[in-house]
Structure formats: structure tokens, C-alpha cells
Structure 1
Amino acid sequence: MKKRPLWKRLLRWLGLGLLVCVGGSIAAVILFRFVPVPGSALMAERRILALGREKPYHPRHQWVPLEDIAPAMGVAVIAAEDQNFPDHFGFDWKAIEKAVAHNEHSRRKRGASTVSQQTAKNLFLWESRSWVRKGFEVYFTLLLEAGWSKRRILEVYLNIVEFGDGIYGVEAASSRYFGKHAKALTPSEAALLAAVLPSPLKYRADAPSAYVRGRQEWILNQMRMLGGTQVVKALG
């Protein structure tokens, strides 16, 4: 039997590898639609990086269903991060256009990632600003939007988002910073947690700077303008 050319064999293995990756990613999205997410790619990456640190690293993370998170917390992250979250399919094109226009004339770069994009990135991908990573982010964002409800995307986001060094998810953050369960968070506390999300390793909820306090007030105002907790209750 004549042997296939090397390039054909490589192409075949590449195709099989791609099929496995696509099938595995779809299976993971389907699985996490129904079961609590035990961790994320970001948590794993942070743990690996912490191996070279002198300071002990003790990550905190506890999954809680959306029903056990104060509705104000969901409203706060929507107000702070993605006000068109209920209506878009993963990408806020108007926000992207504004960010591009702003970044052309400013040294201080502005992002336009939606809650869906951040969920996809934190859950499945590594930290990087490369176009390859961005491509995977688009792929996983579309998978989440196609396979999950908006409520599920918000639920997973609130459970895996980073709120500080080793603090993942709103339950761990609420316990660490306020000594209470996430279900008992007040609108002011929820807004303070949301205020640190642009850079949770730089800004601190337990020692908020003037910038964080100002952002907290802005978020509270946006929460009221969005209609308060009705935003979360209306999610499908």
C-alpha cells in the first residue's frame, strides 16, 4: 500500500485535532450550562504564576447560584461593565466603535469587552492581548451566547470574576471585604465591588481610593437610571 505524502498526513492530524478541540469546547459549554463551574482558566493561570512568589497564595472561591446573590450585584456589574448586556449577542458594537475612536486620540486606552466576552475569557482562556487570544475569545463568546441564557452568563461571571489577589467570585469577595454572604450585599457594597473590576489587582475594595469611590457613586447612579433590580429580573 502506497504511503500518503507527509503533508496529507499532517493535514489529516491537524483536522482531527481541530475536530477534537471544537467538540471539546462545545461539550464544556453544554456541561457548564447545567453544573456549577469549579474554577476557571484565569484561576489556574494565577495559581501557576504564584508558584514563584515569596508571599503565600491562598485563593478563595465559592460557587453560589444567582438566587443567592443580591440582585443589586448583578445590576452593579451591568451598570459598570456592559449596560447593553440584556440586548446584544455577545458584542456591543457601538461601545467598540466609541472605544476605537477614543483610543486613537488618548494614551489611556478604553476597552469595550462585554460581560459575555469577559466570562468567555476568564473561564476558558489565558491572559494576553494577542490577536490569537482575541480570536478564541470571539469563538467562545459566540458559543456562550448560543448555548446559555443571559441569566446563566451573568451567574457564571459573578462566580468567577476576580475581585482582588486570590479573590474569585462575589461570594468570596463579600465574605472577605464585608463579612457577609453575597445575598446580603447592599447596593452601595455591590457598586464598590463593581468599581474595582477594571483592574482588581490595582484597585481595592477594602481600601478604596478616591477614584474607586468616585466610580462607586457613578455606578450607583447608573444602577438607578437602568431601573434597579428589574434589569436582572428581566433577563431570560
Structure 2
Amino acid sequence: MTQRDDDDGGAGARAQAPHGRRRGRWLRRLMWLPVVLVAGSVLQVLALRVIDPPFSMFMAIRQIEARMAGEDDFTVYYQWRDLDRIAPALAVSVIAAEDQNFARHRGFDLDAIEQARAHNARGGATRGASTISQQTAKNLFLWGGRSWLRKGMEAWYTLLIEWLWPKTRILEVYVNVAEFGDGVYGAQAAARRYFGKDADALTAAESARLAAVLPSPRRYNAARPGPYVQRRAQWIQRNARQIGGDAYLESLR
């Protein structure tokens, strides 16, 4: 009886051993997963410092949404343009409209965040405080929404691009992947679509109108501006002059 019990115990231990080894392998793989994800994101951002992105995550998601909705004629308009082939007025207008502290902050504008928090606490229209760096991270790598996961990944990618890219590269990528209308991404596509010209020929007024639609590009149209876009474009032009106009771009180099 004792010998048989010993044999049964030995067989059970041998049966459990492979299961324990498999579980150990999976645990080791899970422990390595954060390292792989961090290393992958760093390499991704490093590569895009010198490689112009052929598309953004926002473009891919919008394309999928259109297909699922049966919009078979939907087209993404996107054509990369280096920053020196885009009118300086557009770059300055985007900064004046979206992130006037762009040259000074390191990805997050704490003063703007506090001002937005105080404004939102008083009620009324919600005000955001995303910097151009944050918006670049979101548009290029992520998806829309307000989940904690997405916000956490946005913060991580924002830190990476601020660490690994110069300010001029961040601005260059942003004006190329920002959505200026439904399916219209980047300065060159927007200039051709709305004004029938290349991005380097945009005037200050046209640039301000393009920057004015950025908060809601599928709601507003730069070619047919309503009262809101007209007022906002005028405000953007005033702000662009106040921050130094085209000379502001020299502070980024």
C-alpha cells in the first residue's frame, strides 16, 4: 500500500511539473511585455524623427469608420510637405491658435491646464489645454476619446517626442497630420482642397482660417467660413502678430 501511494505521488508530481514550467514561461513573458512595449515605442518615435510618416492613426481609423459605414467613395487627402515648403504664416497661425507657449514648455503647459481647470469649474463650454506636442502624439499614434488608457499613452508619447525630436520636427509633423476637414489631413491637402494652391502660397488670412477650424474640423469649413470661424481667424491673426509673426519660428531652431 505504501509503495503504491509513493508511486501515485511521484506520477502526480511528474504530471504537474510540465504545467508549472509552462506557467513559469508565461509569467516570464508577461514580465518582459512592458519592456518590449517601451522599447518599441522609443524605436517608433526615433524612426519618425527622420522618416516622414506615410499616414497617421487618425487617418487609418477614419478610413475604417468610413468603410464600416458604407462610405465607399470616402477618400483620405494627405500629402507630406516639409516645413520649409509650408507658408510660415500657417505654422505661426497654428501656434497662435493652439499653443502660444510651444517654444517654452516641454510637452505640457501647466499654466494652460490650470486656467482650463478653473474655467471648466465655472461651467459653460469646456476648454481644453492640450499642447501641439500632445496633439501630435494623439493624432499620429493613438485614437480619440477620453479613457485613462488613451490619456496615459498620450502622455508617454508626448514625453518621447519632446525628448527625441526638436521643436521644429514636432511642428512639422503636426501641420502635416492635423485634420483640417473630414478626410483632409495636413497643410498641403488643406491648401489644395480649400484654396486651390500649394501650402507655401497660403496667405496670412488663409492660414488663420485653416487654424481656426482645428478644434472642430468636421464642423467648420475654411473655404466657407461662418461668423465663428471669421471671428476666430481675426483673433488668430492678432495673436500671431503679438507673438512675433514669422520671426517666432526662429526661436524654435
TM-score when normalising by structure 1: 0.96
* Counterpart for residue 6 of structure 2: none
**Aligned: 1:148 with 2:161:** no
Range with greater deviation from structure 2 (125-134 or 210-219): 125-134
* Counterpart for residue 118 of structure 2: 101
* Counterpart for residue 77 of structure 1: 94
Structure 1 residues 7 and 102, CA, compared in 2 at 3 Å: closer, same or farther? farther
Stretches of 4+ aligned residues off by more than 3 angstroms? 1-11
- C-alpha displacement at 1:10, in angstroms? 4.2
What CA distance in whole angstroms lies between the structure 1 residues aligned with 2:236 and 2:202?
A: 15
Matches within 5 A, 1:60-75: 60-75=77-92
- SS of 1:205's equivalent in the other structure is coil
- C-alpha displacement at 1:9, in angstroms? 4.3
Partner of residue 62 from structure 2, selected from 16, 38, 46:
46
What CA distance in whole angstroms lies between the structure 2 residues aligned with 1:156 and 1:105?
A: 35
> Which amino acid letter does the alignment assign opposite residue 166 of structure 1?
G
- C-alpha displacement at 1:8, in angstroms? 4.9
> Which amino acid letter does the alignment assign opposite residue 157 of structure 2?
F
* Counterpart for residue 12 of structure 1: 28
- C-alpha displacement at 1:7, in angstroms? 6.5
- Give a deviation string over 1:71-127, Cα, whole Å, max 9, x none: 111100000000000000000000000111111121311000000000000000011
What CA distance in whole angstroms lies between the structure 2 residues aligned with 1:14 and 1:218?
A: 51
- Give a deviation string over 1:141-169, Cα, whole Å, max 9, x none: 00000000000000000000000010000
> Which amino acid letter does the alignment assign opposite residue 156 of structure 2?
Y
- C-alpha displacement at 1:5, in angstroms? 7.0
- Give a deviation string over 1:167-190, Cα, whole Å, max 9, x none: 000000000001111011111110
What CA distance in whole angstroms lies between the structure 2 residues aligned with 1:6 and 1:90?
A: 43
**Aligned: 1:234 with 2:251:** yes
* Counterpart for residue 208 of structure 1: 225
- SS of 1:89's equivalent in the other structure is coil
Partner of residue 27 from structure 1, selected from 30, 43, 48:
43
- Give a deviation string over 1:42-65, Cα, whole Å, max 9, x none: 001101101123442111000010
- SS of 1:229's equivalent in the other structure is helix
What CA distance in whole angstroms lies between the structure 1 residues aligned with 2:229 and 2:235?
A: 10
Structure 1 residues 96 and 6, CA, compared in 2 at 3 Å: closer, same or farther? farther
Q: How many residues align?
A: 236
Matches within 5 A, 1:54-203: 54-55=70-71, 56-203=73-220
What CA distance in whole angstroms lies between the structure 1 residues aligned with 2:52 and 2:220?
A: 28
What CA distance in whole angstroms lies between the structure 1 residues aligned with 2:129 and 2:25?
A: 42
- C-alpha displacement at 1:18, in angstroms? 1.8
- Unaligned runs of at least 5 residues, structure 1: none
TM-score when normalising by structure 2: 0.89
Looking at secondary structure, tell me which structure has more helix per residue: 2
Q: Which has the larger radius of gyration?
A: 2
- C-alpha displacement at 1:195, in angstroms? 0.0
What CA distance in whole angstroms lies between the structure 2 residues aligned with 1:54 and 1:208?
A: 29
Structure 1 residues 112 and 7, CA, compared in 2 at 3 Å: closer, same or farther? farther
- SS of 1:106's equivalent in the other structure is coil
- C-alpha displacement at 1:17, in angstroms? 2.1
- Unaligned runs of at least 5 residues, structure 2: 1-13
- SS of 2:126's equivalent in the other structure is coil
RMSD: 1.5
